[in-house]
């Protein structure tokens, strides 16, 4: 997979190590429901290096049986740790899902990683719950920077296990005064057939939106 800042390379070096992100072969998944058929691309994205990477963007191109392009859908993950794999699912959003016959997926990733979870932004009270429709994570971040923070974001990386992540959710806020607590709420809406795979979340907080 290609880093966005240097398209000709496949790995990036940082003071804390080297990131090496690769993408596997995409599989077309069709799951029939009571009213509709969920169609998407499932693909493994692995960071086999020794450093965390920033945002990963996937592009999934869906074709019919005559190789005509039906839809180009995107999937995103804000960050992926060293040694972790993203079991990605990019949903087909076009019409007539029964006509989808094949899919191709490629992607790119950002070299830059925000300064996640600094000491002056302590996180507390984090909990994750599941309903029939979504996975939701809530918690609180205290602004202990000594001044007002113009932008603050919380990212929940939803995981299958410690080494495999599935999806993400994001919440953000502007202008948090010194000493204030910000209560965040992130969510993801996976297909129902994947819901049981969601086992928890890891929260990353930063003052950067790239």
Pair 113, 130: CB distance under 8 Å: no
Pairing of β 164-176 and β 85-91: parallel
- 2-109 and 123-206 share one CATH topology? yes
The dotted CATH code for 2-109 is: 2.60.40.3230
Distance CA 65, CA 116 (A): 45
Distance CA 203, CA 152 (A): 13
Q: What is the mean pLDDT of each run of 10 residues along the chain (210 residues)?
A: 35 61 95 82 96 96 97 97 97 94 96 93 96 94 96 97 96 97 96 92 86
Distance CA 68, CA 182 (A): 48
pTM above 0.85, yes or no: yes
**For the chain, what are the domain ranges?**
2-109, 123-206
Greatest CA span in the chain, whole angstroms? 61
The dotted CATH code for 123-206 is: 2.60.40.10
pLDDT at position 53: 94
């Amino acid at each position: 997979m290609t880093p966005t800042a240097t398209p000709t390379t496949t790995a990036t070096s940082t003071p804390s190590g080297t990131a090496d992100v690769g993408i596997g072969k995409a599989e077309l998944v069709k799951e029939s429901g009571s009213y509709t058929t969920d169609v998407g691309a499932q693909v493994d994205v692995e960071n086999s290096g020794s450093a965390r990477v920033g945002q990963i963007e996937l592009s999934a191109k869906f074709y019919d049986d005559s190789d005509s392009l039906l839809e180009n859908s995107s999937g995103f993950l804000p960050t992926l740790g060293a040694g972790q794999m993203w079991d990605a699912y990019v949903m087909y959003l076009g019409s007539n899902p029964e006509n989808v016959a094949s899919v191709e997926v490629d992607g790119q990733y950002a070299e830059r990683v925000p300064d996640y979870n600094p000491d002056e932004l302590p996180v507390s009270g984090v909990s994750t719950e599941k309903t029939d429709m979504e996975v939701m994570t809530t918690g609180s971040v205290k602004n202990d920077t000594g001044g007002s923070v113009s932008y603050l974001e919380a990212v929940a990386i939803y995981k299958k296990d410690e080494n495999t992540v599935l999806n993400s959710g994001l919440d953000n806020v502007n202008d948090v005064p010194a000493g204030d607590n910000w209560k965040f709420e992130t969510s993801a809406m996976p297909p129902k057939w994947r819901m049981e795979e969601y086992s928890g979340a890891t929260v990353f907080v930063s003052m950067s939106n790239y």
